[in-house]
Amino acid sequence: MTDLIKPFHLKVRNINSIYIETKRSPFIRMKIYHLYRRQHLNLTIHEAWKFFSSPYNLNDITPEFFHVTITSKVPEKIYAGLMISYRMKAVFGIPMTWLSEVSHCDEPKRFVYEQRIGPFKFWSHEVCLTEEQNGIVLEDIMFYAMPMGWLGQFINSVLIASKLEHIFDNRRNYLHRTWGD
């Protein structure tokens, strides 16, 4: 096995986090957090795709403290490989830059965007749309890791995890008011 490919194994600590350890260095850990949401909406799959695949709708479905400004050109249709840059004020009104890539795009069923530059060590958000009788099911599947080792884990436990919960609670409430049962 080459040095470029380092095997790892997962240690599941609880339903919301996973530790990754490399085989060579079991003392170096990266805690991966998981957030999952599922919601039924009274939309067709094509209406849902049009809304969720457009980053221009982010400010509608996020709280005011999380104001997003898109700083790059975004085409009408997203595609795998598309890079989108943003400025946002997610924590204490401090502006930060975020560059994401649409890593997977299967219109109109799912897309995944991953952070390439931003506040997290790792961030992946998959949006899945499943057609059902009387609408669609929206699933948000997020995995993320904090930078700065134990300090990042502490910051996550006292601030970031609750901010993310608040962001996705706000999203759920907006969507329910707009297209809920």
Q: What Rg value do the Cα atoms of the chain yield, rounded?
A: 17
Length of the chain: 181
CA angle 130, 142, 30 (to 5 degrees): 150
pLDDT at 17: 54
pTM for the full model? 0.83
Cα–Cα distance measured from residue 122 to residue 132, given in angstroms and rounded to the nearest whole number: 32
Which comes out higher in pLDDT, residue 120 or 66? 120
Give per-residue pLDDT as tens, 123-145. 999 999 999 989 999 999 999 99
> With bands split at pLDDT 50, 70 and 90, how would you rate the model's confidence at 93?
confident
Domains and CATH numbers, the chain: 33-179 (3.30.530.20)
Encoded amino acid at 143, one letter: F
DSSP element (H, E) containing 30: strand 29-41
What residues form DSSP beta bridges with 20?
10, 30
Q: Which two tokens stand for residue 130?
A: 């499943």
